[in-house]
């Protein structure tokens, strides 16, 4: 059974999805069919602002990516920054595009050095000749494809029709007049702003309720480059993809140092590292912990990057005790602090009670409040993000209606159990959320390991459901070791990674098609990079998919 | 047709015709025109209007000078016609008669009260556009709990709700000599804190620059921008026609097109040359009076009312331009309180021949008193002259409102949104029943117009009530709470309640009385 199917089976066992009173906007379950239609019908993903900037850099042969203030996209708590649904187009952004386009156009023609670099592709001849040659050679860098003859003719005509063209003093000046308007147009064009993925209609096939159309080599190369490097493809990549066809080996791209940045961003989003950066703790209970989030996030980033760089796997992400600490983190982890400073992060080995990313200060501290660890936040995270089990939102008013624990309850676990013990809550909390959160009960609000709490022994034991079966655990590390061997966990991870590379959620058949990749992860202990490479060559990534009503 | 109307408007402003070739060349036949053009303009007068009280009290013998001259029954209505609005008595039309050109576009609503009548000015100011009682909880006034200044809204005003509901923006506030205390537009405070006033602009030139942000763009650059934009739109259209696109792709390109159209619309507002003399009414870079935000110099210059006139006109033009160009969704033009209206542009002081000297301030005039603070002891020998002066001030405001409506109509946008003339009081003696709410435009056909409506539930004869408590009690029980009117305006503009039905849950908070919300379906189409 594939990990993905196991996920479904375990969900059935849990049966903990939305109830009356759920807020649909906050429910994490798969969207209904009509939304699926929208998600899978998109063939015009908008470039991120980083991608826009790097494409402008390549197009205009700039030394560095230009920096502009652009309307920020809102990333939902459930999504990745690659999710195309978060990339809006509105008048505010269009004004930002316009301002950037105008500034770059003016710079490219008014700055002699910039102009010289841009027109190196124009060759010799009079202005119309050079303009046509430049459009033919340089514009594919902007649009990630060769321009059609009609497009070239149109752009040349626009350039030559500029009011000042005829009066310009020499060919260079005439070229500048034409380029000033053409660069403005190009940097605002839908062909620049969007990844236009129309696919090859002749090769379209129907699979169930989906029509699947393979990407053209240009489109595939473009998707690869933006996914891995946040940058447009260069000529060599397009040529290689075109030449090799389906046999194109993406592993070199995945191993390229430029891909580390984007792979790290995925893991930081998945494991809430960016969110942990701004964690705040009560200075009375936790003196000297101001800015702890910055330390914690830095450690998490170093660890995640280290795992990927060294060919680590999901198991390593979940179980490795390798880390990098400064003086404060070493103190929290109970490691020697001799010779350590506040600014330097030194390689170290975490104590035995810890395992992987979810036992570090960044995650344990983020899934907590100012004073206390949050077993519920931790349980919800594990359920949704680690195991991909569906979970409804709490009924309206549940938080306010939860009873206040009596004073005789001293442990956090007992208090949480009491507060969530009502009939409206226990359906999800008793069997699913709380046990998954209690596994991490041994880590307080700043990630320190606890064995005693107000005179009572901290209890991190419990039972959870993995692969549809109930299993017992004795603590966080035990829980994670069990999870790291469960197909459900690997299926969940692969789904997250696939959603990240595709910039959308997966269609039903795509989840099933990812099964071989899950097998790679669980049975062959494949590295993160190998899993990524597998997804980048899978049919879902190489095609555009449209759901047919 | 909106486009041609806008052209006329731009021509009227002068110097704004640069975009015409682009407009003519813009073919949109294959693109969806789903641009949302709703707007809300609020024109605020202060100190009540000169009207005959229906519940008795101090001014019960004054002649009616504001509402149309038509008998109207409680809960009844009459059609608004030019003929009705132009009716005169002894050669004097009612103040609303200044709006005769717009009879079919108006909804005049009498019989509306605020939620809590206790108070003088600020308590009513903050209610007229929140539809909820005021609160006196500002810690800055902790030592002055009974102060009229310690009055704050319970929540945001309607203009804020409208702006943020339509496109997530905040309303603009244009002040004509109000000194950053318009008390007209509020946003909710954070974490339940007291609502705060939305920032205001009191300098037309600065307002213009902030709104359109392109006063420095010369004609050549503007034309280049338009050519580039035109070409991008053509590419957008071409891409959208590709049959390989999905329906979702087309929706995305339609949204892109609409956003672009919005940007283009603003682009068309760009003056080709900020030094064009025809723009001087708005930018007025050559006239120091509009470049000088300090009114003190003009108060002593003998030309103060000319200054007031110019500032008001400039803001009216900017407001109309902003709406026409989609620069904002909601704005307030807050007219000038405490202003020495002694210029012949407002009324002929000399013809009134005040025996004890000219009262001076508008506020004092509204009280029929000689100085502010004497409102409880008006000189009844001069009452009639005070009423005439107040009536002329009302007509001056009505003419300004008519000017605004004219610009909106010429731009073809009057019926895209709602333009409301309101007041913080109904009368100069702080009564806040029969509040003057004059609505223009039908919000895209959603609001009935061409009507004079009395929302009062039962008749009360003048003089029936003589003491203040009786007047307040009668007004509270017989008149329509303004909350229901505000919900109606919001509903007409497409705003919804928490349950997604047409807006009905805005405001309604009373003082020790049940909350009254709901809209007025009889006014909606």
The model's pLDDT over A118-171, given as tens digits with 9 standing for 90+, comes to: 999 999 999 999 999 999 999 999 999 999 999 999 999 999 999 999 999 899
- Helix H or strand E encompassing B108: strand B106-110
H-helix segments, A257-343: 257-270, 273-276, 292-309, 314-319, 327-333
Q: Taking 70 as the threshold, does the pLDDT of residue A1 lie above it?
A: no
Mean of pLDDT values over B326-331 = 87
A357 in Cβ contact with A304 (< 8 Å) = yes
How far apart are alpha carbons A40 and A507 in whole angstroms? 7
To the nearest whole angstrom, how far is the Cα of A136 from the nearest Cα of chain B?
A: 18
Q: Can you give the pLDDT at residue B157?
A: 97
A41 contact residues in B (CB cutoff 8 A): 246-249
| Strand duo B437-440 + B418-423: pairing | antiparallel
Q: Residue B235: which of A91, A163, A191 has the nearest Cβ?
A: A191
B102-129 residues labelled b (16+ CB within 10 A) or e (exposed): bbebbbbbbbbbbbbbebbbbbbbbbbb
In chain A, which residue's Cα lies nearest the Cα of B213?
Answer: A95
User: Does the beta-carbon distance from B229 to A98 stay under 8 Å?
Assistant: yes
Sign of CA dihedral A51, A57, A63, A67: negative
Going by the DSSP 8-state scheme, the letter that residue B201 receives in this structure is: B
As a whole number of angstroms, the distance between CA B310 and CA B304 comes to: 10
- Residue among A385, A381, A351 at smallest CA distance from A368: A381
What is the Cα–Cα distance from B21 to B11, expressed in whole angstroms?
14
Q: Which residues of A124-154 are buried (b: 16+ CB within 10 A; e: fewer)?
A: eeebbebbbbbbbebbbbbbbbebeeebbeb
Give the C-alpha separation, A349 to A494, whole Å. Answer: 27
Round to whole Å and give the CA distance between A385 and A390: 10
The better pLDDT of the pair B49, B221 is held by B49
How deeply is B224 buried, as exposed, middle or buried, from its count of CB atoms within 10 A (0-12, 13-18, 19+)?
buried
Chain A residues whose CB is inside 8 A of the B223 CB are: 163
β-strands B172-175, B330-334 pairing: parallel
Contacts with B200 (C-beta within 8 Å, 6 or more apart), sequence order? B173, B174, B175, B178, B180, B182, B185, B334
Task: Please give the average per-residue pLDDT across A382-393, as a whole number.
Answer: 90
Largest CA distance in chain B: 84
Q: Which residue has better confidence, B247 or A419?
A: A419
Task: Provide the 8-state DSSP code for B422.
Answer: E
* Shortest Cα distance, chain B CAs vs residue A189, angstroms: 5
For the ranges A325-329, B332-336, B378-382, the lowest mean pLDDT is seen at: B378-382
Instruction: Tell me the pLDDT tens digit for each residue of A173-196.
Output: 999 999 999 999 999 999 999 999
The string of DSSP codes covering A30-89 is PPPHHHHHHHHH---PBPPHHHHHHHHHHHHT-SS------PPPPPPTTS-TT-GGG---
- Which has more confidence, B392 or B344? B392
What confidence score (pLDDT) does residue B16 get? 31
- Whether the CB-CB separation of A321 and A307 falls below 8 Å is answered with no
8 A C-beta contact, residue B43 and residue B422: yes
**Which of A35, A40, A38 is closest to A210 using CA atoms?**
A40
pLDDT band at residue B99 under the 50/70/90 scheme: very high
pLDDT of residue A488: 96
Dmax (CA) of chain A: 90
pLDDT at B96 over 60: yes
Q: Residue B3 pLDDT more than 50?
A: no
Angle between helices A3-14 and A515-523 (to 10 degrees): 90
φ and ψ at residue B485, rounded to 5 degrees: -65, -45
Scanning B268-356, the segments in alpha helix (DSSP H) are 288-291, 296-299, 304-324, 349-352
Statement: residue A546 has pLDDT above 90: no
B218–A contact, CB cutoff 8 A: no
Instruction: pLDDT band for A38, please (50, 70, 90 cuts).
Output: very low
Residue A93 pLDDT more than 70? Answer: yes
Q: Cβ(A498)–Cβ(A270) under 8 Å? A: no
Length of chain B: 525
Three-state secondary structure call for residue A191: helix
For residue range A227-261, list pLDDT tens digits in order.
999 999 999 999 999 999 889 999 999 999 999 99
Confidence of residue B20 (pLDDT cuts 50, 70, 90): very low
**Does A355 have pLDDT greater than 50?**
yes
Cβ A190–B235 below 8 Å, yes or no? yes
Report d(CA B236, CA A189) in Å as an integer: 7
The larger pLDDT score, comparing residue B386 to residue B437, is at B437
CA distances from B329 to B164, B171, B267 (A): 9, 7, 17
Distance CA B51, CA B162 (A): 30
Q: What are phi and psi of A173, to 5 degrees?
A: -65, -40
Cβ-in-10-Å burial (0-12, 13-18, 19+) of B161 comes to buried
How far does chain B reach from its first CA to its final CA, in angstroms?
22
Please count the residues of chain A: 549
Give the Cα separation of A28 and A437 in Å (integer).
18
Q: Within an 8 Å CB–CB cutoff, is residue B85 touching chain A?
A: no
Is A41 in Cβ contact with B246 (below 8 Å)? Answer: yes
pLDDT higher than 60, residue B8: no
Q: Is the model more confident about B413 or about A73?
A: B413
Confidence of residue A384 (pLDDT cuts 50, 70, 90): very high
Residue B155 forms contact with A (CB below 8 Å):
no
pLDDT one-digit tens code per residue, B28-81: 323 334 567 899 999 999 889 999 988 877 777 888 999 999 989 999 999 999
- Please enumerate in sequence order all residues whose Cβ is within 8 A of that of B7, keeping only pairs 6 or more positions apart, or say none: B17, B20, B23
List A368's β-bridge partners, or say none: A373
Task: Give the minimum alpha-carbon distance from A102 to chain B in angstroms, rounded to a whole number.
Answer: 8
Q: A528-537 and A515-523 are packed helices; what angle lies between their axes, rounded to 10 degrees? A: 160
Chain A residues within 8 angstroms (CB to CB) of chain B: 37-38, 41-44, 89-91, 93-95, 98, 101-102, 158, 162-163, 180-181, 184-185, 188-191, 196, 198-199, 201, 546
**Percentage of the residues of chain B whose pLDDT score is greater than 90:** 38
Contacts for A411-420: CB closer than 8 Å, 24+ residues apart:
A411/A453, A411/A454, A411/A456, A411/A458, A411/A459, A412/A372, A412/A373, A412/A375, A412/A441, A412/A453, A413/A375, A413/A438, A413/A441, A413/A458, A413/A459, A416/A375, A416/A376, A420/A376
Name the E strands within B396-477. 418-423, 437-440, 451-454
Best interface-test mutation with B: which of A90, A110, A194, A549 has the largest number of B CBs within 10 A? A90
pLDDT at B270 over 90: no
Closest Cα partner for B346 from B302, B394, B387?
B394
Cα separation of A117 and A183, whole Å?
Answer: 14
CA distance B181 to A528: 61
The predicted structure's pLDDT at residue B161: 96
Q: Residue A190: closest CA among chain B residues belongs to which residue?
A: B236
Calculate the alpha carbon distances from A440 to A433, A498, B121 in Å. Answer: 12, 28, 59
Range A61-75 average pLDDT: 83
Give B312's pLDDT tier (boundaries 50, 70, 90). confident
Q: Give mean pLDDT, residues B212-228.
A: 75
Average pLDDT over every residue of B193-202: 83
CB of B452 closer than 8 Å to CB of B72: yes
Cα separation, B472 vs B466, in Å, equals: 10
Long-range contacts of B402-406 (CB under 8 A, 24+ apart): B402/B98, B402/B99, B402/B101, B402/B102, B403/B313, B403/B316, B404/B41, B404/B43, B404/B316, B404/B319, B404/B320, B404/B333, B405/B99, B405/B101, B405/B102, B405/B105, B405/B440, B406/B101, B406/B102
B239·A196 Cβ contact <8 A: yes
**Residue B357 near residue B378 (C-beta atoms within 8 A):** no
- The distance of B260 to chain A (nearest Cα, Å) reads 6
Q: What is the CA radius of gyration of chain A?
A: 27
Is the per-residue pLDDT at B291 higher than 50?
A: no
**How far does the CA of residue B326 sit from the closest CA of chain A (Å)?**
11
- Residue A96, H or E segment: helix A91-110
Q: How many angstroms away from the CA of A498 is the closest CA of chain B?
A: 21
What residues have CB less than 8 Å from B359, skipping those under 6 apart?
B365, B369, B370, B371, B382, B386, B389
Report the alpha-carbon distance of residue B9 to residue B406 in Å, rounded: 9
Name the average pLDDT for chain B.
78
> Do B248 and A42 make contact, defined as CB atoms within 8 angstroms?
yes
Residues A519-544 have pLDDT tens digits of: 999 999 999 999 999 999 998 899 98
The ipTM (two decimal places) reads: 0.85
Q: Check pLDDT > 50 for residue B10.
A: no
Determine the pLDDT at residue B2.
Answer: 24
Size of interface A-B (CB pairs under 8 A): 76
């Amino acid at each position: 059974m594939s990990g993905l199917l196991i996920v479904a089976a375990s969900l059935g066992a849990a049966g903990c999805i939305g109830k009356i009173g759920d807020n649909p906007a906050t429910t994490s379950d798969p969207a209904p069919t009509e939304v699926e239609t929208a998600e899978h019908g998109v063939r015009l993903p908008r470039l991120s602002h980083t991608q826009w900037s790097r494409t402008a850099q390549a197009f205009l042969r700039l030394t560095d990516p230009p920096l502009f203030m652009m309307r920020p996209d809102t990333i939902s708590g459930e999504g990745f920054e690659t999710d195309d649904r978060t990339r809006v187009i509105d008048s505010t952004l269009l004004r930002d595009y316009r301002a950037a386009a105008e500034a770059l156009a003016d710079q490219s023609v008014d700055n002699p050095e910039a102009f010289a670099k841009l027109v190196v592709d124009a060759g010799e001849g009079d202005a119309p000749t050079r303009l046509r040659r430049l459009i033919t050679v340089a514009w594919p860098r902007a649009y990630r494809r060769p321009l059609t003859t009609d497009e070239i003719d149109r752009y040349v005509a626009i350039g030559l029709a500029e009011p000042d063209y005829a009066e310009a003093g020499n060919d260079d000046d005439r070229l500048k007049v034409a380029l000033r308007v053409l660069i403005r147009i190009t940097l605002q064009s839908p062909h620049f702003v969007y990844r236009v993925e129309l696919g090859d209609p002749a090769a379209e096939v129907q699979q169930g309720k989906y029509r699947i159309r393979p990407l053209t080599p240009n489109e595939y190369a473009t998707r690869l480059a933006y996914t891995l490097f946040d940058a447009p493809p260069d000529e060599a990549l397009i040529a290689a993809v075109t030449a090799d066809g389906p046999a194109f080996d993406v592993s070199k791209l995945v191993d390229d140092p430029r891909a580390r940045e984007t792979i790290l961003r995925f893991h930081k989003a998945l494991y809430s590292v960016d969110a942990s950066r701004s964690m705040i703790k009560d200075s009375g209970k936790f003196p000297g912990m101001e800015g702890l989030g910055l330390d914690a996030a830095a450690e998490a980033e170093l660890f995640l990057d280290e795992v990927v760089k060294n060919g680590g796997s999901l198991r390593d992400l979940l179980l490795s005790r390798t880390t990098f600490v400064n003086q404060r983190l070493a103190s929290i982890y109970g490691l020697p602090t001799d010779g350590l400073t506040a600014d330097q992060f030194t390689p170290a080995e975490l104590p035995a009670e810890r395992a992987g990313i979810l036992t570090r200060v960044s995650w344990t501290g983020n899934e907590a409040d100012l004073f206390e660890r949050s077993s519920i936040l931790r349980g919800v995270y594990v359920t949704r993000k680690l195991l991909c089990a569906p979970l409804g939102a709490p009924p309206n008013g549940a938080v306010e209606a939860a009873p206040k624990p009596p004073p005789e309850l001293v442990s956090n676990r007992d208090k949480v159990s009491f507060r969530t013990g009502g009939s409206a809550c226990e359906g999800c909390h008793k069997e699913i959320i709380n046990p998954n959160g209690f596994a991490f009960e041994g880590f307080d609000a700043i990630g320190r390991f606890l064995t005693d709490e107000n005179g009572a022994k901290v209890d991190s034991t419990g039972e959870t459901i993995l692969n549809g079966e109930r299993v017992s655990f004795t603590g966080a590390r035990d829980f994670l070791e069990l999870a790291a061997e469960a197909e459900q966990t690997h299926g969940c991870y692969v789904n997250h990674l696939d959603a990240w590379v595709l910039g959308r959620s997966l269609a039903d058949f795509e989840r099933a098609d990812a099964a071989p990749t899950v097998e790679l992860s669980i049975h062959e202990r494949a590295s993160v990079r190998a899993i990524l490479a597998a997804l980048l060559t899978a049919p879902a990534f190489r095609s555009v998919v449209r759901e047919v009503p | 047709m909106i486009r041609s109307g806008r052209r006329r408007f731009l021509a009227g402003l002068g110097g704004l015709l640069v975009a015409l070739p682009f407009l003519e060349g813009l073919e949109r036949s294959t693109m969806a025109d789903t641009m949302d053009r709703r707007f809300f303009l609020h024109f605020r007068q202060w100190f009540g209007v000169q009207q005959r009280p229906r519940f008795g009290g101090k001014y019960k013998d004054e002649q009616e000078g504001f509402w149309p001259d038509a008998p109207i029954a409680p809960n009844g209505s009459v059609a608004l016609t030019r003929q009705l609005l132009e009716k005169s008595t002894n050669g004097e039309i009612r103040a609303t008669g200044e709006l005769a050109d717009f009879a079919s576009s108006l909804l005049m609503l009498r019989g509306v009260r605020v939620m809590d009548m206790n108070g003088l000015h600020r308590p009513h100011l903050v209610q007229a556009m929140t539809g909820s009682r005021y609160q006196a909880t500002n810690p800055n006034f902790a030592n002055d709990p009974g102060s009229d200044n310690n009055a704050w809204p319970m929540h945001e005003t309607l203009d804020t709700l409208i702006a943020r509901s339509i496109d997530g923006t905040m309303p603009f506030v244009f002040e004509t000599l109000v000194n950053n205390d318009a008390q007209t537009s509020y946003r909710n405070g954070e974490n339940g804190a007291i609502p705060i006033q939305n920032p205001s602009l009191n300098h037309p030139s600065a307002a213009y620059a902030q709104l359109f942000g392109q006063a420095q763009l010369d004609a050549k650059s503007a034309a280049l921008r338009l050519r580039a934009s035109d070409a991008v739109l053509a590419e957008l259209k071409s891409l959208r026609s590709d049959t390989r696109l999905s329906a979702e792709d087309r929706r995305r390109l339609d949204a892109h097109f609409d956003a672009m159209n919005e940007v283009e619309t603003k682009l068309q507002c760009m003056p080709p040359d900020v030094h064009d003399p025809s723009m001087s009414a708005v930018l007025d870079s050559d006239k120091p009076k509009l470049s000088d935000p300090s009114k003190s110099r003009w108060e002593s210059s003998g030309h103060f009312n000319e200054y007031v006139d110019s500032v008001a006109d400039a803001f009216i033009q900017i407001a109309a331009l902003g709406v026409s160009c989609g620069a904002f969704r909601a704005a307030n033009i807050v007219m000038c309180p405490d202003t020495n209206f002694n210029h012949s542009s407002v009324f002929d002081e000399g013809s009134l021949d005040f025996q004890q000297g000219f009262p001076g301030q508008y506020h004092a005039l509204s009280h029929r008193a000689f100085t502010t603070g004497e409102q409880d002891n008006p000189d009844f020998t001069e009452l009639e002259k005070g009423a005439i002066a107040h009536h002329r001030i009302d007509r001056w405001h009505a003419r300004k409102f008519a000017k605004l409506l004219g610009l909106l109509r010429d731009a073809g946008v009057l019926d895209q949104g709602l333009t409301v003339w309101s007041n913080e009081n109904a009368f100069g003696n702080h009564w806040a029943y029969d509040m003057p709410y004059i609505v223009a435009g039908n919000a895209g056909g959603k609001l009935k117009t061409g009507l004079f409506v009395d929302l009062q539930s039962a008749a009360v004869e003048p003089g029936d009530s003589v003491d203040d408590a009786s007047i307040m009690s009668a007004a509270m029980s017989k008149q329509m709470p303004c909350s229901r009117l505000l919900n109606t305006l919001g509903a007409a503009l497409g705003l919804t309640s928490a349950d997604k039905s047409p807006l009905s849950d805005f405001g309604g908070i009373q003082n020790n009385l049940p909350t009254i919300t709901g809209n007025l379906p009889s006014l909606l189409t």
